Structures are given as C-alpha cells and as structure tokens.
A and B are shown apart, each in its own frame.
Chain A
Amino acid sequence: MSADTVKRDNAPKIRAAQIRLLERLCNASAVSGDEGEVRSIVLDEIRSHADQVEVDSIGNVLATKLGKSRHRKKRLRVMLAAHMDEIGFMLIHREDSSIFRFDTVGGIDVRQLVGKPVLVGQDHIPGVIGTKPIHLTTSNERKNTISLDALRIDIGLDSNPKVKVGDRATFATRFTRIGPSLRAKALDDRLGVATLIQLVKHAPENIDLLAAFTVQEEVGLRGAQVAAYTFDPDVGIALDSTPAIDLPDWEQEAGQEENSFYNTKLDGGPAIYLADSATLADPRLIRHFADTAEAAGIPFQFRQPGGGGTDAGAIHRSRAGIPSISVSVPARYLHTAAGIARLSDWRHTLTLLHTALTKMTPSLLSEPR
C-alpha cells in the first residue's frame, strides 16, 4: 500500500453509518443544561478512539487525541468545539394534571410554536403546544400572533409522575433524509457534533486534537468558556451550523433585484466565518481555511459578516487569548421545528476541516496577520 493510499484511507467519509449516527444525534433530546442523551452517544462513539476522555464539571465532553511527533512544540494544540445542546423549552408551571406553562430556552421565535408536537423530558413523553381549532377562532384572532403567555404544552395524561416542572421539551420532528437533503430538528449543532466525532476517529497525526463537545452554547457559550480554560489550546475552532437565508421568494418580497442578505447558501459548501457579534476570526486562520479549500478543490463560502455568535466567541477570550475561527454547515430554518441541510455541504465541511487540520503546524501562528 502506498503512503498516499494510507493517507486517503485515514480521511473521514460520510456514508450510511455516519448518517445513521447523525440521525440518532438529531433525534436525541438535549436542551441546554440537559445534554445527557447526546453526551452518552458521544462518549460511546469516541471513547475507544481518544487518548483521554473526561466529562468536566459543567458537563462538557473533553477528549484528547495526541499527535505523533515526540516534540511537543511541533504539535499545534488545536481545540475543536461543537455544542451538544439545542434550543427548546422548559416546563415552568403545572396548571392542571396535563397542562404546563413553559418558557423558551435559547433563541426561539414564538410565532412558529403554535400547534407543534413536542417531546417532554428524557423519556420523550409526547405532547403538543396546543391551540384553539379554526372552528372556534375569529378572523381577527387569526391575524394576531399568540404570545408565549398564552401557549401551553399538553401531554394528554393525568398526573404522569415522570413529567415535572423543570423538565425540558424539544420539537418532536424525527430525522429524515430527502434525496440530497437532511431534514431534522437540532441540526444546529448535531451536524457539528457528528463532524467532530469523525475528526476524533480520524485525528490528523500532526496536531494534538482537543475535542470539546460543549454544553449550554445556546444560552451564552457557557460550556465552551470553561472548556477553553481547561484545554488552554494554541488555536480554537468552533464547528457549528449557520442559517442559509437563500430562498428566492424572500428576495422578491424584499423588492430587491439581488438577495444581499442571505448569510449563507445551501450547496455553497462549508461556511468560513470572518466576523460575527462574538468573534473576529483570526486572519491567519481565515487564510488557512480558504487557501486549503482552494488548493484541494473543496467548495466553500464565506459566511456574511454580521450578528450571531459561536463557541469561538468564548474560546478566543479565554486566558491570555486564543486565535480562533468558526466553520459551519449551512442549513435553512434553524431554531425552528425542522431545518434542512445538504448532505454535500456536510461532506465538504468534514473534508475541509480534516484537510486543513492535516496542514496545521506551529508556523501558522508566525505568519503575518
């Protein structure tokens, strides 16, 4: 076997097994602060592949895969972060035996909640965010949005002892593959989690790979903050999912000839970050990722500079500072009951990350910035 073949064989691939793993990850319930179900999948997948695995005090999974060089200084310590948590709901008050008031966890547009099926708690008790049927509403009522105060989760059971105030709930959407697309809840950020699992399994030998499967990203990058402190890496990379706002209808509605505010586009490949509200990506890392993609013929796009934030926002401000960047898989309809991503974008994201990591040496940080 030639050296080339060996190298290619180590490159991670997304095949049926990896898609099935993404399916399990997306279907798991892991609202911020209650990430146990995803954490146990992650631990099962990576335990035999990493040199060291621990669950830290806040619930992050921290896995280390050391590089092969005997000289510590020749191995760049690269932290990769993907968040295990998803947006969702928390039950805050039982109004009668089966009806709960609830609050949102993470960024959710309340307008899209009405009538959605949900799963409550780690036992996935089915419920629904109920609403009055059309027979009984007036045309005036139908013009108004329904505020969170007026919404309830109904589990349809009398005093189910397993459901209690403080339980989380998620959208009930089950993962589906539709031709070239993946439709699921929680693509943000199970796509990143699934990508990071593959990178741990196929860790490049030139770096120390420090994988952080983080908690509580959706409520303020909290897990990544402590994970970065623990790892104290040379470089930080957040793997996330970012909205694609690339629908043709929306462009026409905006009365514009050209959609100028799409954030990213499906089929555009991995989205390399330049600037968001939380991070100005390190120019050396932007160049490294873009140059790697161009040299290897991997399609990529720059995420439009703008708002939002990823775990990189917490990582780069840790301790005495850590040069950081984010790379995301684009997906439509994030933070709603069902997002849509392209399998090809996910594949290209994994390839770009693996290729870029394989080319990372400490000299990267001596380059001009």
Chain B
Amino acid sequence: MKSLIQELVETTGPSGYESRVRDVIRTKIETLADEVYVDALGNLIAAKGEVESGGKKIMLAAHMDEIGIIATHIDELGFIRFTTIGGVRRQTCVGGRVRFLNGTRGVISYEDLGDVNKLPTFNQMYIDVGSTSRAECPVRVGDVAAFDRPFSSFGDRLVSKAMDDRIGTAVLIETLRLLNKTPNQVFFVFSVQEEVGLRGATTAAYGLDPDIGIAVDVTRSGDTPKGVKMEVSLGAGPAVKVRDSGMLSDPRVVSWMVDTAEKEKLPYQMEVLEAGTTDARAIQLTRAGVPAGCISIPCRYIHAPSEMVDYNDVQNAVQLLLALLKQEVNLE
C-alpha cells in the first residue's frame, strides 16, 4: 500500500484541478467496481454491490484535491503574484517550493518588510520560477500549483504535502480492492473541491441520495510538543469522529463504528475536533438529511508541506471500513 500512497501523494491536484489524481485513481479501480463514472463537477464515483435485504446504500467520500496556489499576476520581471486555494498558511509558505500543473517549479519568497520578525501577507509574497521577464515566464494568470515535496517514509511514519486527503483516497482504493461480499450498495466517492468548501461532496451526495454517509479524511492530533489539547495521537488507531466544527456525527453511526471496532479487536480512538470539518458534513445535510460519520486518519502538521501519518492507522482504517461494510447495517 505504501507505493500506492506514494503515487497518490506525489500527483499534483489542487482544488478544481484534480484531473491527474482522478486519472491515477481511475486506473486503479476501473476493474474493481461494478460501475465507475465521473459526475458533472468531476467527482469520481465507483459503485460496488447491490442493496440486499438488510443492506443499505452507503456513500464513502475521500477528497482528491489538495490545497495550493493560483497565479494572479506576472510582473515585468517575471515574478508571480498569487492567491491561495484552500487553507494555506503564511508561515509554511516562505522558502517553500511549488510546482505548477505544466511542470514549472518555483520558490516562494517575499518583499523586504524591514523587520525580520514579521510574517509577510500573501500579497507581499511572490513566486520566482527563474524567469527574467513577463514574456519569458512559463506561468500565466490562472495557472495553479501545489506544494512541491517528495514523499518520505520514516519507518511507519509517512510524510507528504498531500496526506490530506490522498491518504483517504488510498484507504478507499484499498477497501474497494479487498471488499469481496457486502449486502450493501457502496459508492466510493473520490470528491473534488473539498478544501474550498466541501463542494464536490455536496453535489455527489445529492446525486447519490445515500442512506448513510462516511467521510475518510485526516484529523489533527494532540501528541506534539505544546500542541493542541486533543485526545487523538498517531499510531493509536483510526479515529471515530464524534464532532468537529461543522458536524455532529450521527450517534448511531458512531456506535456502529465503535461496536464494530470492538468486535473485530481493531484499535480505534474517539475524535473531537475543534477546528475544521469534512465531506461528512455535506453528506449529512443533503436533501432531507443523511446519517453521517467520519473515520479519520490522525495527522500531524495538516496543511503544512510535510503532513505526517502513521501507516498502522491507515491499514487499520481499511480493516475497520471492511468490517463495517461487510455486515448488514441496522442504525436503530
């Protein structure tokens, strides 16, 4: 699974421009599902199984997009001004590198602020791609880029600029590969535009009209020096989301996840996230409402160019999902 993860995280796909990620995933899943298609906004959807007696229509969602930047202006000397796509933080930009979809690489720097302790605003930053003039610059206004960092594996700890949420797409692909028999009809949704407001999951959920929704995404952890106060830590198992700032998980879905993990003797931890939300919120609020929850992969340094997860949590998330899906679901 590590090579799958590496291939996914090293593919460039900022929100709205997920086509390369979609192509990679599509080749992996084409033969595994009963039906694979791309919807109007670009969500990749793979359907598996039929609803049998006692079964449900279940939507799983992991987003293909990552945060990035978009060029707003190329100046006379070939420097690129930009704005952000999704929750990019200023402190992780300076000195960082980006890679545009056309392959052009650049370095982020900033205007002299006259004070070394000051953090530049995005308007004070620019990207240097080595050009000396506007005419020579290979980047045009509207071109998008993602952060440029190779995948690293420190033993079981995996590091990348796009664990959020390629690790979720890897979990879905692996789950689809291993799912033999299910009384449920399962829709594996590889969604677009999550980082700019859950937009792909919003329309995919409307289109699918599922009975139950589960997002697979990353969550913060509380296990770093003077970090946020939070129960979740890397390596302690996939996290069952109880709430985040955009959603209260359906308590029946939470119980279903917890009971299944206990029964299967899989490690898990409970998650209460105080900032951020996932595609599960969009699913929960579609049409007349859908019971929804989320399985989270604990992740350090989210939205920095080096997001870190634990490989064991990833594998256990696959096992938990498989255990959830192979059984009849009764949420009463």
Contacts and interface: CB of A to CB of B under 8 A. Distances in A.
Given A275-B70, A306-B72, A320 B40 contact: yes
A369 B43 CA distance: 12
A260 B74 CA distance: 8
A305 B207 contact: no
B76 A320 contact: no
A317 B72 contact: no
- Of the four ranges (under 10, 10 to 19, 20 to 34, 35 or more), the interface on chain B belongs to 20 to 34
Contacts of B199: 280, 316-317
B106 to A, nearest CB: 16
Nearest to B141: A302
Interface stretch (B14-22, B52-60, B258-266, B323-331): B14-22
Contacts of B41: 316, 321-323
B274 interface: no
A19 interface: no
Nearest to A259: B73
A283 interface: yes
Which has the most chain B C-beta neighbours within 10 Å: A275, A280, A317? A280
A321 B207 contact: yes
Contact of A275 (B16, B202, B207): B16
Interface string A9-53: 000000000000000000000000000000000000000000000
B45 to A, nearest CB: 10
B204 interface: yes
A320 B204 contact: yes
B203 A320 contact: yes
A248 B77 CA distance: 19
A250 interface: no
Contacts of A280: 15-16, 85, 193, 196, 199
B11 to A, nearest CB: 16
Contact of B73 (A260, A317, A321, A368): A260
B267 interface: no
B84 to A, nearest CB: 9
A321 B203 CA distance: 5
B16 A305 contact: no
A368 B23 CA distance: 11
Contact of A369 (B42, B70, B196): B42
B34 interface: no
B81 interface: yes
Interface residues of A, number: 25
Nearest to A304: B72
Interface in B1-44: 15-17, 19, 39-43
Contacts of A187: none
Contacts of A318: 203
B58 to A, nearest CB: 18
Interface string B204-222: 1011000000000000000
Contact of B70 (A257, A305, A317, A323): A305
Contacts of B142: 274-275, 286, 302, 305
A319 B203 contact: yes
A258 interface: yes
Nearest to A274: B142
Interface string B119-145: 000010000000000000000011000
Interface in B187-205: 193, 196, 199-200, 202-204
A330 B119 CA distance: 33
Given A260-B81, A320-B40, A283 B16 contact: yes
A321 B19 CA distance: 17
Given A305-B83, A306-B83, A368 B123 contact: no
A264 B16 CA distance: 22
Nearest to B209: A320
Contacts of B75: 258, 260
A275 B70 CA distance: 8
A304 B140 CA distance: 11
Given A261-B73, A316-B199, A368 B19 contact: yes
Interface of B: 15-17, 19, 39-43, 70-73, 75-76, 81, 83, 85, 123, 141-142, 193, 196, 199-200, 202-204, 206-207
Interface of A: 257-258, 260-261, 274-275, 280-281, 283, 286, 302, 304-306, 316-323, 365, 368-369
26 contacts: A258-B75, A260-B72, A261-B73, A261-B81, A274-B141, A275-B83, A275-B85, A280-B16, A280-B199, A302-B141, A305-B72, A305-B83, A306-B72, A306-B83, A316-B199, A319-B206, A320-B40, A320-B204, A320-B206, A321-B39, A321-B40, A321-B41, A322-B40, A322-B41, A323-B41, A368-B19
